[in-house]
Amino acid sequence: MSDPFGDRLTAIFRRSGQLCVGIDPHAGLLDSWGLPDSAAGVRDFGLRVVEAVIGRAGVVKPQVAFFERHGSAGYSALEDVLAAARAAGLLVIADVKRGDVGTTVEASADAWLTPGSTLEVDAMTAVAYQGLGSLDGVIDRAQRHGKGVFVLAATSNPEAFETQTAMRADGLTVAAALTAGVAARNGQGSPGTLGAIGVVIGATVALPDFGLSAASFTGMPILAPGFGHQGARIAQLTELFGSAADNVLVSASRSILSVGRADLAAAIDDHVRQVAACLA
């Protein structure tokens, strides 16, 4: 088994900073990059992003949907991108948002979290709509193999607000209950490092509205999309997450990718500097 996910993530934070670069080859970006909207195009796009990230940041997050829309050829392209990223020593989070029960959801864990799988990554995103216990098999596999899981808790899309802020009989919001459940299941690494199981918290949400606070995330990694194109500014990181800011993976996609191939490396460098300055 590899080192615990939280230990590896903490090491990357210390070595390369907390930026997570999204790999989102949607049709508009492919066109602006002069690439075809095909499996070959998404492969080229993904490999170019990986190449630009190497030596600049430590984490990438491919959005799997943009690959799988090209069918089996798209998955083959994704396998090449994942292999290149992991071979370069980058930590790879598959944004798959899988969620189900029993052997069905466990099969997703087998695909993404099993060492040697052609789709092997370091962590995956997951949905616990059927209850956090439905992900026990996924969490078990992650902890067994030194992998990570990020469970959606408070997301940026406005349609989620009513459900995620709904109050349960125990007085907790749904988002707060999920976060507390993750904390209870979290596999801790070495002292001073993060656990293996984290949450997805949109950077555009106000934590108090969801019954959350910085103390909710003690020892827990946070994947925070929403910086850049969706409206949150990196300069707001500590304002948004308080003392938990040191746990946050600052996820940025379109604000980096939209600059085009020629300026991609410079955009990554700029985002890395912004995150470091905010946490200094």
110: closest CA among 138, 82, 131, 87?
A: 138
The active-site residue, picked from 26, 69, 97, 233, is: 97
List Cβ neighbours of 104 (8 Å cut-off, separation of 6 or more).
none
Each residue of 98-111: b (16+ CB within 10 Å) or e?
A: bbbeeeebbebbeb
Q: Which structure tokens are listed for 75?
A: 């998955």
Q: Does the annotation mark 97 as catalytic?
A: yes
Residue 260 bridge partners (DSSP): none
The radius of gyration computed from the CA coordinates of the chain, to the nearest angstrom, equals 18
Say how far apart CA 95 and CA 87 lie, in whole Å. Answer: 19
Q: What gap in Å lies between CA 200 and CA 192, rounded to an integer?
A: 21
Length of the chain: 280
Q: Please list the active-site residues.
A: 97
